[in-house]
A = this chain, B = another copy of it.
Amino acid sequence: MSQSPAPDILRCAYMEIVVTDLAASRKFYVDTLGLVVTYEDENAIYLRTYEEFIHHNLILRKGPVAAVAAFSYRVRSPQDLDLAEEFYRARGCEVRRNPNGFVRGIGDSVRVQDPLGFPYEFFYEVEHRPRLAWSYDIHIPGALVRLDHFNQITPDVPRAVAYMENLGFRTTEDIRDSEGTVYAAWMRRKPTVHDTAMTGGDGPRMHHIAFATHEKHNIIAICDKLGALRESDRIERGPGRHGVSNAFYLYLRDPDGHRVEIYTQDYYTGDPDNPLVSWDVHDNQRRDWWGTPVVPSWYRDGSRVLDLDGEPVPLVERREESELAQTIGADGFSYTRPDDGESMPEWKQGEYKLGNQL
């Protein structure tokens, strides 16, 4: 099985999501976040970031149930599609190929339901569109310049990591405990911290899609704009600084509850011996470098994913410890200083006890 060589994946390229109210989603992604419309009709909107030159980074498709229809990766050459087919057939997965593409702007493509249950797509052929990097006359204060990564929820993180490493991904960071349980792992093809991450939980579900800005103030501008629009309740978590990835972040929820991260300034990971960074699940600076507690919905919620026939994929429950329980739940604890154990300033204990009551 592991003999079938992996396709040479360049990067995460786009996500296709199903939204229930296309107008509401357009308002969020186009009017508020400022993604650029490459194409739209009454059923779908194709969007890209300012620095993208391929046709799209996000498709909003109207449908009855909010879900993810495809996590799509670009490969290095047309021949890699044959490798993708073989790779997944060897793993007993459902595989479909469409020489004309499953969506607009994309040519010959392979879609699979992968071993974890996710709808993955691979393509090389794609229409080009103008890269708007220099079009500062149309940039907004919160300009989204690149698609950065996906994040997926899956019950068995080590199994997911093993599969993805066979697919050619490398792990850059992870969250573990002293018992050996792995709670999450970050995996990359392009030399950033990740093209996708595997987050432990009932799955398959999509945790979030992340777009990059150039600077931190761009992310703050998005928050400020949401406040001005009286849409601040779209902000789920942040802005803050991640421990994992060292990036500055913000999490939003779109009108269907799909989670969108805005992200900036992680680091170069392209060397083969790039050091793995492992975080202790009890380190409360792992997910937020400033120790800001993660809200429960962030751990809890995710978007369902669709199989190749468009049906929701059934969930498999996570059997191992949940990160939520380990750190802010009933039995959980976390620390700021490793040797302090649970100590924290007296004034702060009220809030943390509260965390324990969730």
A interface residues with partner B (beta carbon < 8 Å): 10-11, 51, 53-54, 74, 76-77, 128, 131, 133-141, 143, 145-146, 190-191, 214-217, 220-221, 223-236, 239, 241, 243, 246, 248, 253, 257, 265, 267-268, 270-275, 284-285, 289-292, 295-297, 300-301, 336-337, 344-348, 350-351, 354, 357-358
Of the residues B190, B227, B297, contact of A348 by C-beta under 8 Å: B297
Tell me, in angstroms, the Cα distance from A344 to B233 when the chains sit together.
Answer: 7
Tell me, in angstroms, the Cα distance from A47 to B140 when the chains sit together.
Answer: 21
Q: Smallest CB–CB gap between A268 and chain B, Å? A: 6
11 more A-B contacts (CB under 8 A) besides A134-B227, A136-B141, A232-B290? A74-B271, A128-B273, A136-B224, A137-B229, A139-B225, A141-B141, A214-B215, A227-B290, A235-B291, A297-B350, A354-B358
Tell me, in angstroms, the Cα distance from A344 to B215 when the chains sit together.
Answer: 30
Tell me, in angstroms, the Cα distance from A137 to B230 when the chains sit together.
Answer: 10
Say yes or no: A270 contacts B229, CB within 8 Å.
no
Say yes or no: B134 contacts A246, CB within 8 Å.
yes
Say yes or no: B348 contacts A136, CB within 8 Å.
no
Q: Main SS of chain A's interface residues?
A: loop
Point out the residues of chain B lying under 8 angstroms from A246, CB to CB: 133-134
Instruction: Jot down 10 A-B pairs with beta carbons below 8 A, ordered by A.
Output: A11-B271, A133-B246, A134-B243, A134-B246, A135-B228, A227-B285, A232-B290, A236-B347, A257-B347, A297-B350
Q: Smallest CB–CB gap between A236 and chain B, Å? A: 7
Say yes or no: B274 contacts A53, CB within 8 Å.
yes
Say yes or no: A224 contacts B53, CB within 8 Å.
no
Assuming the contacts A236-B348, A268-B190, A270-B190, asked whether A291 and B227 have C-beta atoms less than 8 A apart, the reply is yes
Tell me, in angstroms, the Cα distance from A98 to B265 when the chains sit together.
Answer: 37
Assuming the contacts A224-B289, A275-B128, A289-B134, asked whether A296 and B139 have C-beta atoms less than 8 A apart, the reply is no
Tell me, in angstroms, the Cα distance from A54 to B274 when the chains sit together.
Answer: 9
Q: Smallest CB–CB gap between A214 and chain B, Å? A: 5
Point out the residues of chain B lying under 8 angstroms from A297, CB to CB: 347-348, 350-351
Say yes or no: A220 contacts B241, CB within 8 Å.
yes
Say yes or no: A232 contacts B137, CB within 8 Å.
no
Tell me, in angstroms, the Cα distance from A233 to B341 when the chains sit together.
Answer: 13
Taking CB as reference atom, which chain B residue is nearest A148? B268
Say yes or no: B268 contacts A336, CB within 8 Å.
no
